[in-house]
Amino acid sequence: MPVEIRTSILYTWFTMSPSTQPAPSVEERLADLEHQFEELRRQVLGTRPGSRGKDWRRTAGTFARDEMTVEAERLGAEWRKQQTAP
């Protein structure tokens, strides 16, 4: 960018009249940042407000009763039984 353009931009920026609205307080800025953070978090993690994340009760019963699932359940039960055996 040529020096003349940068100088013109800086001059305009420094000589602009102040906004008629008062600057937001620290509390207002913090509240706005917290809101923006929650929005980004929901977008990235795909969560809803108040969601507690993964819960086995939401997952229970969602798998098909195919051979592989039945075998996995059987093996899991067998393993748990071995872990609790004296």
pLDDT at 62: 74
Statement: residue 9 has pLDDT above 70: no
Residue 30 zone, left/alpha/beta (φ > 0; ψ -120 to 50; rest): alpha
Asked whether the CA dihedral 9, 13, 14, 17 is positive or negative, the reply is: positive
Confidence class of residue 3 from pLDDT cuts 50, 70 and 90?
A: low
DSSP-based three-state secondary structure for 20: coil
Model pLDDT for residues 51-68, shown as the tens digit of each residue: 666 777 777 777 777 888
Confidence class of residue 12 from pLDDT cuts 50, 70 and 90?
A: low
